[in-house]
Amino acid sequence: MKTLQFREAIQQAMSEEMRRDETIYLMGEEVAEYNGAYKASKGMLDEFGPERVIDTPISELGFSGIGVGSAMIGNRPIIEFMTFNFALVGIDQIINNAAKIRQMSGGQFNCPIVFRGPTASAGQLAATHSQAFESWYANCPGLKVVVPSNPKDAKGLLKSAIRDNDPVIFMESEQMYGDKGEVPEGDFTIPLGVADIRREGTDVTIVSFGKIIKEADKAADELAKENISVEIIDLRTVKPLDYEAVLKSVKKTNRLVILEEAWPFGNVATEITYHVQSNAFDYLDAPIVKINTADTPAPYSPVLLAEWLPNYEDVVKAVKKVLYKL
């Protein structure tokens, strides 16, 4: 094990895979000469050269399409978006081509491509740079959606995503690139679609993913002071979603809180809520509570942003609500 920053784990995963397989290349804005907008591709241009680490113009639709086309003929591109907010410019290639070409070609073409970059808010970046699109992409058949919360998972999941024969949306966070954690060295992978029991507990299950799960960790520490035992499940992969891990935990704790940085209508938490009430209704001792952002665009004002974004105090209140302690 070696202590790495999140950005270093991403770089290590990509570099290890590119050494293993010459069909893999990295393409995006500032990934080469500048070592990545967040320094997640530091040193890769020097090692792999300009034919495999490729700077692009500000043209997400164009380089997304190049990636999809090259994937169809045998390459394994990694397409980096400076933020998934900018992926909206290239979303036609993701939804209408990458996600559908395998079915529309009758299985003649696979599309082994990874689209990666940061998602959700990252401080005062205002409405158009603070959006979480996990549920958008998860809603589309043909795409896999991965949202790691720590350096270890980032490396293991990204290596699996690169090796996958289907398109994978790999979503990070500007606010996590400096996070540090122990990461296994060598050929370490984590299978897609398998959740992680981040913390074991007996009283309440909290399900979350991505950087917002840190608020669940803080809440669990506070609740432990009151002898409330919280189990935290990190989904890691939103599509496919590990329903069995969630159901198993709920059948043990009988209560569920879902924490997700997303607008409240039709999100991942909504899907989990439906699945649990359909398959574990008799085990529930309280209604499920989901915690999301406010149903507005993200504000720029720091005071309003703090109100808009879920925090550990919201999680504490939700846990006490399902325990009937409020």
Residues in the chain: 326
Above 90 in pLDDT, residue 128? yes
Catalytic residue among 8, 17, 29, 60: 60
CA-only gyration radius of the chain, Å: 20
State the pLDDT at residue 326. Answer: 82
Class of residue 32 by CB neighbours under 10 A (exposed 0-12, middle 13-18, buried 19+): buried
Tell me the two tokens of residue 93. Answer: 């290639």
State the pLDDT at residue 47. Answer: 98
Catalytic residue among 17, 129, 215, 231: 129
Secondary structure class of 27 (helix, strand, coil): strand
| pLDDT per position as a tens digit, 278-291 | 999 999 999 999 99
State the pLDDT at residue 147. Answer: 98
Entry pTM: 0.97
- Its CATH architecture, for the domain 2-183, is 3-Layer(aba) Sandwich (3.40)
Above 90 in pLDDT, residue 275? yes
| pLDDT per position as a tens digit, 92-102 | 999 999 999 99
State the pLDDT at residue 136. Answer: 97
- Average pLDDT over the chain reads 97
Q: Kind and range of the H or E element at 208? A: strand 204-208
Mean pLDDT of 73-85: 98
State the pLDDT at residue 186. Answer: 86
Q: What CATH class has 196-323?
A: alpha beta
Q: Does the annotation mark 33 as catalytic?
A: no
Class of residue 279 by CB neighbours under 10 A (exposed 0-12, middle 13-18, buried 19+): middle
Q: Does the annotation mark 129 as catalytic?
A: yes
Above 90 in pLDDT, residue 255? yes
Q: What percent of the chain has pLDDT over 90?
A: 99
Mean pLDDT of 187-199: 97
| pLDDT per position as a tens digit, 149-158 | 999 999 999 9
Confirm whether 2-183 and 196-323 share one CATH topology. yes
Above 90 in pLDDT, residue 39? yes
Please report, for the chain, how many H helices and E strands are present, in that order. 12, 14
State the pLDDT at residue 181. Answer: 98
Above 90 in pLDDT, residue 68? yes
Domain ranges (residues) in the chain: 2-183, 196-323
User: φ and ψ at 295, to 5 degrees?
Assistant: -85, 55
Sequence-distant (6+) residues with CB within 8 A of 241 are 138, 193, 235, 268, 271, 272
| Rounded CA separation 69/77 (Å) | 10
